[in-house]
Amino acid sequence: MKPHRSLIPAIPTGPGTEIPIPRRFARLVDLAYNMWWSWDPGARDLWQRISPSDWAVSPNPLTVLQTVTPEAWEGLAASKAFRASYEDVISRFDSYLSSSTWFDSELPDSLAGGVAYLSAEFGIHETLPFYSGGLGVLAGDHLKAASDLGVPLVGVGLLYRRGYFGQAIDPDGHQQHQYRPIEVTRRALRRVLAESGRPLTVEVDLPGRRVEVGVWRIDVGRTPLLLLDTDLPSNDPADRPISHILYVRGREMRLCQEIVLGVGAVRALHALGIDPTTWHVNEGHAAISLLERTAIRIEAGDPLDTAKKNVADRSVFTLHTPVPAGNEVFDLDLALHYLSGSFPGIDDGSIIELSGSGRERIFDLGALAIRLTRSTNGVSRRHGEVVTHHWERIIGGPATSVTNGIHLPTWVGRSVSRRYESVLGRDWASETLDPGRWAEAVQSIPDAELWDAHTAQKDLLLRDLRTRLRDQRARHGSAPSELRKATKLLPSNRLTIVFARRFAVYKRAGLLLTDLGRLEWILTNPDRPVQLVFAGKAHPADAGGKDIIRRVWDMANSPQFEGHVFIVEDYDIGLGRHLVGGADVWLNTPRPPMEASGTSGMKASANGGLNLSIADGWWLEGANDRNGWSFGAEQNTDEADAHNLYDLIETEVAPAFYERDEAGLPRRWIAMMREAMVAIPPAFAARRMVSEYTQRLYLPAE
């Protein structure tokens, strides 16, 4: 097998933040600037060893390195255990970057120019808040799996210097929004350089002026992620904030962001000498890149129709929204104000034709992306059917689908990971590509070990939740006596059901609130008590979602549900890892067919959690009646779905959890856990997802 080689030209970067560090540990800087550490347990342990207190406050290597004193380095240098750990991690890091890969073995002469993956958000780690939810986390997992497989791919997004909002809930249950500036010197970000050695900038035309766009790089294993930045001193102060906030509320500012993303991505890659074989437009936010590329073909001499075909032949489009109403659209007059004349050879009539979806005076980015790509895919089989139903007229035939997947090393907790490692080896996640071997190995883990691993992760989750609840109550002015009570909340022997996702109305976080009397009876049953944990954000402009948060807050703080219902603030990747790692049951209640896919339930299953979910999205493929519970139907009312849910919790879920044998083990529950751990990871791993994209969609575009 050939050694790993990159098909993407080298992307030069500046040196990053200068950090005084002993020469013998100099490679820690390389490690800090590659997000590989975020999914390698040994690397995370290494950072924690350097400064446990700093790591507990902020799991960010660059913060840790900038706070270590010379005396602390002397102590670490004297520690034989630390030196051994350092050498082991660096050795595995180097091996990871240089070793041969699946792509080298299976497709060595393919994708000569690599793949450009364009997305409005990327969720790599909680310290890089360039994501809001599932779309961004999926994009981050896509990059990580591409790295693992060796697929030559470069991601392009925006550098949101104020990220997505941090959430706080005030004493009345109202969501508050906090936009925290990103310290770029304490993030794994380095400026991309031009051939001259100066920071690279490209220009994007907006009405009456040009905006300069800087380019930053984050290394995600082998995969480079480029982030575009308008906050440059050379720009007008009114243009510098264009890239500040993810999913900014103002529609005109949002359109400016998507122009910068689409046009800036094409120009940045061209400036770096990168000519992708295939362009992957991940959701409609990046669709304007297709207009820019079409204009380039026209300037090269292609007639409009030929240019459109040439662009489409090298492009694929993934829709993550369930129906057209959820797609990104703008007022046509606003769009033409910004786009008219910006793309040589593409007149206003062509822009209107390409972006039309049947709604009057609407510029539809989804329709634009469909017309200028060779394939449109949904993100689960059911979603592919929904996309076909709503978009077939524009697609010209049925949509395809590639079901989403998860990056297992990122999302599987440490205790469960050790169990997988014990039967599959250190690189256990790669074994998901062999489902038979995976199943045989997981079946061999004793029941007691599976249960111990789950309970260890559950204990970790509940400790974290108690701390968060105490801090929340302290901020609200609770007395010390009340704060002490927080340490006794959330007993570990109680059935714990988690609902954690965006508080969009269609996800129906309020479904459990349909019949509060019955819910109280179920939760406070003295023989089989249940505790519910809610977490999630509502978009600042989503009044309905914020109202649901307030209703859940009121319930959690009412006497009848005290100690049984909790809502935790500021749901992000870090909290998400704990929740999927320790939940007994993962609850999902969307109104079908609105769940395009969903991935959080996959993560819970990989950790041994059991899904309790509406039959929609990925769960239609994952459920087998032995690894969780399904309920609901498209024709059901909310009331009918709620009562089906109550019935399941009361008559099946809680009894199975509390049924124990003489050894104190819930054997029936463990059998379902094992089935989830056998069936879900191979079918829903990001490695499977990216290999499927590569072989089915990226390669045919060559």
Q: What are the residue ranges in the chain where pLDDT is below 50?
A: 1-4
Q: How many CB atoms lie within 10 A of CB 349?
A: 8
Unique residue bearing structure tokens 């990580």? 144
pLDDT of amino acid 459: 97
Q: Domain 410-684 carries which CATH code? A: 3.40.50.2000
Which pLDDT tens digit goes with each residue over 376-387? 999 999 999 999
Cα-to-chain-centroid distance, residue 618: 16
3-state class (DSSP) for residue 691: helix
Return the H-helix or E-strand segment holding 325.
none
Three-state DSSP at 140 gives helix
Cα gap 409→39, rounded to integer Å = 5
* DSSP per residue, 45-95: HHHHHH-HHHHHH---HHHHHTT--HHHHHHHHH-HHHHHHHHHHHHHHHH
| Nearest residue to 351 via CA among 303, 291, 306 | 291
What count of residues does the chain have?
Answer: 702
Amino acid at position 51, single letter: S
Tell me how far apart the alpha carbons of residues 628 and 632 are, in angstroms, rounded to a whole number. 14
Express each pLDDT in 97-141 by its tens digit.
999 999 999 999 899 999 999 999 999 999 999 999 889 999 999
Helix, strand or coil, per DSSP, at residue 331? strand
In 3D space, the residue among 106, 138, 103, 105 whose CA is nearest the CA of residue 119 turns out to be: 138
259 Cβ contact partners less than 8 Å away, ≥ 6 residues apart? 204, 206, 288, 338, 339
State the Cα–Cα distance between residues 636 and 210, nearest whole angstrom.
52
> What ranges do the domains of the chain cover?
23-102, 114-405, 410-684
Give the residue ranges of DSSP H helices in 444-564: 447-475, 480-485, 516-523, 543-556
- 438-443: long-range contacts (C-beta < 8 A, 24 or more apart)? 438/678, 438/681, 438/682, 439/678, 439/682, 442/674, 442/677, 442/678, 443/674, 443/678
CA gap 658, 494 in Å, rounded = 9
SS3 553: helix
Give Cβ neighbours of residue 301 (< 8 Å, ≥ 6 apart): none
Task: Look at residues 551, 562, 481, 476 and name the one whose alpha carbon lies nearest to residue 514.
Answer: 551
Contact 553, 520 (CB under 8 A): no
Nearest to 177 by CA among 249, 118, 243: 249
Q: Can you give 434-477 as a three-state secondary structure string?
A: CHHHHHHHHHCCCHHHHHHHHHHHHHHHHHHHHHHHHHHHHHCC
pLDDT in tens, 268-294: 999 999 999 999 999 999 999 999 999
473: left (phi over 0), alpha (psi -120 to 50) or beta: alpha
Q: Do domains 114-405 and 410-684 have the same CATH topology?
A: yes
Cβ contact 145:408 at 8 Å = no
Burial of 651 (0-12, 13-18, 19+ CB in 10 A): exposed
**Chain segment 449-495, per-residue pLDDT in tens:** 999 999 999 999 999 999 999 999 999 999 999 899 888 899 999 99
Class of domain 114-405: alpha beta
pLDDT at 6: 60
pLDDT 10s digits, 587-624:
999 988 889 999 999 999 999 999 999 999 999 999 99
Long-range CB pairs of 56-64 (<8 Å, 24+ gap) are 58/127, 59/125, 59/126, 59/127, 59/574, 60/127, 60/186, 60/187, 61/28, 61/31, 61/32, 61/37, 61/188, 62/17, 62/19, 62/32, 62/185, 62/186, 62/187, 62/188, 63/186
What residue has token string 């062509």? 350
Contacts of residue 326, defined as CB under 8 A and 6 or more positions apart, other chains included, come to none
Q: Mind listing the pLDDT tens digit for each residue in 567-593? A: 999 999 999 999 999 999 999 999 888
Residues 536 and 663: beta-carbon distance below 8 Å: no
Compute the C-alpha angle 692/697/701, nearest 5°: 145
Check residue 128 and report its DSSP letter.
Answer: S
